[in-house]
Structure 1
């Protein structure tokens, strides 16, 4: 039987985390789960230890966020020789066909590709995540594997063959961009990245603007910009220089400072609702 390690990180959303684990074990009770609780204060760790003692629970201080938390979970899981690693966000609700579809896609690609699950809204009227194509358009389920350019890390399977080439997530990233970076690294190494053929989970859309915080002082804007949940210019520079070159990286570095320096009215006039 194929061994799969499920990797999660969580922070202060106990009910969603417990609901996610409940759905996981309901669908497949032989999973090895590695979960980093990044400093939750709402009783998440205690509830997991009580209700799901089989989970490998890793408690941290609260400064990891998504990318570094997932890196740590993966580091723990990699001590065992698993066939597959599954990234999973605890705010998605996986469907009953989730593992069947993931394994089917893995078989179609001979365990040589990364498979990203398509996530839709709860009413099934909108595709939310999975990945973007070469034209920066969000890929919708169409009954076939679709090539991804920019990877969303909500529900993603990494076969052992891929992990041995790419290794873990890049620790330069704090919260976001680690998933996109991983997908681009894969493509640079001639490893394909595909969506599932159908939606395998539902979730909520995240519309947070990381580039600019509006209706506040310029000092607060820059504090948010350089925070782990902002579009930290140093991290963005690293990402863009790595994948798109120095000119692209330095241009966007200055743009991030410019757009946070100008007042709200000018931002709205020039860019509309793009950075609101």
Structure 2
């Protein structure tokens, strides 16, 4: 059996849409749906109990972050295969069955993922990545990857130029649409809960690769992912920088990891300065100026590495 696992926190409408799609266009493979509610303050839990009685709802009682919530969902799963699916996604017709079939055809991969598209149909290239490297981190940290997304040289982490239209082994698959055998997930100890938000999926992929896994991507399984709905931009970047710095320090070693971490630090400073100047020229840059001013002011939080707690606990006067 396949266990489809979701984690939610204060996104009742998104969770409803995702579950409605899963129920209306149910996969043909025998499956169950397990949802962990990370202590939502809205009506998420009540909505699931009322509208989706076939779903197994697990109350975490607190915000455990994605990693903690996903691990809790896995402990309640009964399937031999797990599919981690973000609650702000909409699986397209046949996507889950296609991914399950792909897993059966390529068992040596051990982790499997599909294509994600945005609401306007554009492919999201950030959810299947190369393994962290010093050059890739320099390109991401200094903004070269974002400026030249189609360049294989300047966007190596994002596989610049690859249209996500072919089967391919990748460095890491996104946790928003990730299939893995329950036995391997248990052997890895699940997601590392030190990553409260972001980075836990890349870390899991890298640890699985150390055991011989070859994470693989297929374009035949496609979901729509409306990411970032639960975060303010400054919060997203605070978590993301902390995760990236932790990943490079942990997986690239003290010298290359240290240089890569400083690339992210320098990039944050450059963005804060650049948008401060640009906002004086045109008001459309004002929001990004504010975002990066806040991110830079928070560097004492993310420069130390991974953030393991909700930002609300670390920023009580926000």
> TM-score of the superposition, structure 2-length normalised?
0.68
Distance 1:257 1:207, change over 3 A: farther
Secondary structure of the residue aligned to 1:93 is strand
Aligned-pair CA distance for 1:180: 0.7
Separation (CA, whole Å) in 2 of partners of 1:59 and 1:240: 33
Segments of structure 2 that go 5 or more residues without pairing to the other structure are 132-155, 278-284, 293-318
Aligned-pair CA distance for 1:58: 1.8
Distance 1:42 1:255, change over 3 A: same
Please state if 1:150 is matched with 2:172.
Answer: yes
Separation (CA, whole Å) in 2 of partners of 1:265 and 1:96: 45
Match of 1:34 in 2: 34
- Is the 2:3–2:33 contact (alpha carbons within 8 Å) kept by the matching residues of 1? yes
Q: CA RMSD in A?
A: 3.5
The structure whose residues are more often helix, as a share, is: 2
Aligned-pair CA distance for 1:123: 3.2
Question: Could you report, residue by residue, the CA deviation over 1:171-210 in whole angstroms, capped at 9, with x for unpaired residues?
Answer: 2211110001111112221111011233511122549999
Choose the corresponding residue for 1:248, options 251, 256, 279.
Answer: 256
Match of 2:206 in 1: 184
Choose the corresponding residue for 1:136, options 154, 157, 161.
Answer: 157
Segments of structure 1 that go 5 or more residues without pairing to the other structure are 214-223
Residues 158-173 of structure 1: matches in 2 within 5 Å?
A: 158-173=180-195
Aligned-pair CA distance for 1:147: 1.1
- Is the 1:25–1:31 contact (alpha carbons within 8 Å) kept by the matching residues of 2? no
Distance 1:112 1:203, change over 3 A: closer
Choose the corresponding residue for 1:103, options 82, 97, 100.
Answer: 100
Aligned-pair CA distance for 1:26: 2.1
Residues 182-261 of structure 1: matches in 2 within 5 Å?
A: 182-204=204-226, 206=228, 213=234, 229=239, 231-232=241-242, 236-253=244-261
Aligned-pair CA distance for 1:113: 2.0
Separation (CA, whole Å) in 2 of partners of 1:36 and 1:207: 18
Which stretch of the first structure deviates more once superposed, 121-130 or 9-18?
121-130
- Is the 1:111–1:161 contact (alpha carbons within 8 Å) kept by the matching residues of 2? no
What is the number of equivalent residue pairs in this alignment?
Answer: 255
Which stretch of the first structure deviates more once superposed, 153-162 or 92-101?
153-162
Aligned-pair CA distance for 1:263: 9.1
> TM-score of the superposition, structure 1-length normalised?
0.77
Question: Could you report, residue by residue, the CA deviation over 1:104-126 in whole angstroms, capped at 9, with x for unpaired residues?
Answer: 21121136521112111233233
